[in-house]
Amino acid sequence: MPRSLKSSMPREPRERKQTVLFVGTVCFLCLAALISVGVGSTPLDLPGALRALMDGNLEDGGARILLYVRLPRTVAALLAGSALAVSGTLLQAVLNNALAGPNIIGVSAGAGFATLLCTALFPFLPGLLPVAAFIGALAAALIIYAVALSTGASRMTLVLAGVAISGILTAASNTVRLLSPDAAAGSTTFFIGGFSGVTLAGMGLVAPYILLGIVLAFLCAGALDLLTLGEETAASLGLRVGRTRFLLILLAALLAGAAVSFSGLISFVGLLVPHLCRSLFGARHRLLLPAAAATGGLLTCLCDTLARVLFSPYELPVGILLSFLGGPFFLYLLLRKKRGRVYA
């Protein structure tokens, strides 16, 4: 059969392998979520509690634990992990830079500062936190973008501007911590990142933003693919590069801000997961974005479960665990790349 005919076969083997891997990841994600709901400091009869919950019987102790403690926590881990991973994937594609991530370019620091400031100024209005975090993330992203735009929008400038903004915002956060006891009280856990404080009502507030953000990101897969070919190629193919970049940065800020508002400054997910997924799933965003969302959720959920059971009944903030696991793993990925495997 001539070469040109073979190509019309619907699926390449690599593509099929990637799809299988994706389905596997999603299955694993469901399993991890189930384990996360089932495991905790109080033993729980999961089927019984579920049945009670289905019947609407909130008198049942198990059902109450499930609804008010376990489920919000699992949902929080899944959503935060997915949001950060998708945000990182967006930023890496938009800035065309494998160094980019919500933590590195200052978006998380912006959200963190705004959250602390909000806690210090309005300690009795926790409902304001996600909004403040989003505004903070957005403000940081816009400042970075404005700086880069006025200097020609090179991707390196964007990252450097992000690092500078990050530094300023961290200093500002520390100032707020020193001046306001209210903000200082919870700030250590906030800076490490974790899910011990999440509530059902709080999750109800941010979940729509995150889900909307993820869906919008999926819809932009084609534009992201073009952006990874470089600014000139993307523009010469007819993409409005400036506008597209701007909108995608807004979207990344929305996702990171929403995640930071309830989970604190969880590190590494936004950087590590996009890298890992590009090596496993390739650079096509139609698959890469859903895969990053699933992997981010899976990783965060697993680590959170581990953080709860490892030193039970004490619990470790998940941020610590993620950094301890994520850091070395990231180094491993870099070393493998050094030895000839190319990821970016």
Partner 1 sequence: MLELSRVHCGYKGLPPVLRDISLAFPAGEVTVLLGPNGSGKSTLLKTAARLLPPLQGEVLLDRSDAGQMPPRAFARKVAFLPQNRPAPALPAEALVLHGRFPHLGLSRRPGPADKAIAQAALAKTGAAPLRQREVSSLSGGERQKVYLAMALAQDAETILLDEPTTFLDIGRQFELLALLSALAAEGRAVAAALHDLSHALTVGTQIVLLEKGKLCFCGSPAEAVQSGVLERAFGVRIHRDTQGRYYVTPPDS
Among 1, 54, 238, 338, indicate the residue that binds partner 1 (CB under 8 A): 238
CB 225 within 8 A of CB 283: yes
Tell me if 153 contacts partner 1 by CB under 8 A: no
Among 78, 207, 226, 287, indicate the residue that binds partner 1 (CB under 8 A): 226
Rg of the Cα atoms in the chain: 21
**Where does residue 282 rank: exposed (0-12), middle (13-18), buried (19+ CB within 10 A)?**
middle
Residue whose C-alpha is closest to residue 258's, from 130, 88, 106? 130
Tell me if 12 contacts partner 1 by CB under 8 A: yes
Tell me if 167 contacts partner 1 by CB under 8 A: no
Tell me if 240 contacts partner 1 by CB under 8 A: yes
Nearer to partner 1, 122 or 330 (CB): 330
Phi, then psi, of 7 in degrees rounded to 5: -70, -20
Nearer to partner 1, 228 or 295 (CB): 228
Total H helices, total E strands in the chain: 16, 0
Give the interface size with partner 1 as a residue count (CB under 8 A).
30
Tell me if 229 contacts partner 1 by CB under 8 A: yes
DSSP 79-137: HHHHHHHHHHHHHHHHTT-TT--TTTTTHHHHHHHHHHHHHHH-TT-GGGHHHHHHHHH
Among 1, 7, 11, 314, indicate the residue that binds partner 1 (CB under 8 A): 7
Tell me if 342 contacts partner 1 by CB under 8 A: yes
Helix axes 241-263, 71-94, angle to 10 degrees: 150
Tell me if 11 contacts partner 1 by CB under 8 A: no
Tell me if 126 contacts partner 1 by CB under 8 A: no
Degrees, nearest 5: CA angle 14-81-162: 95
- Minimum CB separation from partner 1 for residue 279, in Å? 8
Nearer to partner 1, 73 or 278 (CB): 278
User: Which stretches of the chain bind partner 1, using CB under 8 A?
Assistant: 3-4, 7-8, 12, 14, 96, 152, 222, 225-226, 228-230, 232-233, 235-240, 278-279, 282-284, 342-344
